[in-house]
Amino acid sequence: MDKLKQSIEEADQTMAAVGIAADCRRLVQVILAGGSGTRLWPVSREQFPKQLIGVIGTESLLQATVLRMRGFPAAWDVVAEPVIVCGEEHRFATAEQARESGVKARIVVEPARRDTAPALTLAALTACADGQDAILVAMPADHAIADIAALHAAIEIAARHAQAGEIAALGIPPTRPDTGFGYIRLGDSLQDGAHSIERFVEKPAAELAAQYVAAGSYWWNSGIFVVRASVWLAVLEQLQPEMYLACVSAQQQGKNADGYSRPDAAQFAKSPSDSIDYAVMEHLGKPGSPFKGVVVPLEAGWSDLGSWDAVWDAMDKDESGNVASGRVLFEGATATYARSEGGRLVACVGTTNLIVVETDDAVLVADRSCVQDIKGLVSRIKKQKSPEADMHRKVRRPWGFYDSIDHGERFQVKRIVVNPGARLSLQMHHHRAEHWTVVCGTALVTRGEEEFLLSENESAYIPLGVRHRLENPGRVPLEIIEVQSGTYLGEDDIVRFDDKYGRAVNQP
């Protein structure tokens, strides 16, 4: 106990050095939303990963996570604004989905991917920016949890341990040997059902996973952690000083603009890339370490949705074990997951243990026992520089979205939808001209020195090299058909002069 008390005092001193006072009744939800979800390809893409998609329902996994702390016991001071850590390419969609859920989030934009330990460190610094300590409830944005009351009960136990200066992980009592999860070996049993952490074990081989489950002394690592921000920073400073200094410097030299917290990219690049497990949790309880870890059981219908097989397992099935999403028909099929994302009819006849996923531009057919190999497949697609790894045919932008309908050697046709009050950047192209035809709503067009309105069935021609902008001044979505023609039609042929969303501009 003396060492534990000393560690808490050291944590408080560390935080006091940067102007933070200790207070352990505040709970701040931290959502780690920086993943790519390649195993859920072709629905999950680099530019629009699985946490932004309704994998098992109409709301996205991120939206379900954002609402997960609602109704938490009133004895705790749950801060209304969660901290979400995401990548630059996902910040607009992340903010929009949080708003749609009725939540005003504090969004931290990672300048580069450095895994979960630096992400949690940025979140800890953000949560304490008002001068108060807080208990962080850190959870990935891509999990499914069926029983929220059971989740709250586990978090409350974990929060009491966090008050005492311990780092708490939520562990899942395993239902089967699984090589896709990390495991936690249980230490001494505690009175509230928790256990001390003896050690973390990364994803084991099948035979070893079976031994873990049979032993009954290993739980799956859920990736959900509860810890005081001051304690996390003190532990990190001791165990990973290079990471600690890089994150603190990045936060101090960063900027807050347009509702986003932007750590300094050059300073953050100095941080090593590491997970919470490797950077911190594996060191807890070792001889000489004053910091302690506990694992709290979570039995709440948890799934990390890390593969299509996990999605199949988490969803309701018909009498033959099939799961359908979208326009799907089964005939003599068993244990099959089929998803129609692009609206076409997917028919499965006599299939067994298959995954069939259709989108506008790709179709996946995989044996359910081989779904972990999809990650390697996506790597091959990236090496071929094919667009299907990075983005969908329908691409979301802060002003709305565009859908590439057709293309040829010297032309491309897009359907563009601009949200009410939104506008594209002021831009020009070196290699293409554009023709816009309004099919719904009203467009305000800037073309060179001109500015004029277009109504339905009216059109405008934008010559190559002319500055232009498209804006929706109305109250309904603006929909246009754009025909591009030229020698090069790539998205990187954009010279941007002005942008209301803070994207990079290219001044002449």
pLDDT tens by residue, 132-160: 899 999 999 999 999 999 999 999 999 99
Check residue 178 and give its pLDDT: 85
| 391 three-class SS | coil
Residue 197's alpha-carbon distances to 201, 394, 486, in angstroms, are 11, 45, 62
Q: How far apart are CA 131 and CA 115, in angstroms?
A: 26
Check residue 13 and give its pLDDT: 53
What's the topology of domain 394-498?
A: Jelly Rolls (2.60.120)
Confidence of residue 500 (pLDDT cuts 50, 70, 90): confident
Better-scored residue on pLDDT, 354 or 182: 354
Confidence of residue 507 (pLDDT cuts 50, 70, 90): low
The CATH superfamily holding the domain 2-303 is Spore Coat Polysaccharide Biosynthesis Protein SpsA; Chain A (3.90.550.10)
Better-scored residue on pLDDT, 179 or 331: 331
Check residue 60 and give its pLDDT: 94
What are the domain boundaries of the chain? 2-303, 308-383, 394-498
Q: How far apart are CA 398 and CA 392, in angstroms?
A: 16
Provide CB contacts within 8 A for 112, sequence distance 6+: 265, 268, 269
Provide CB contacts within 8 A for 198, sequence distance 6+: 185, 186, 187, 285
Check residue 25 and give its pLDDT: 82
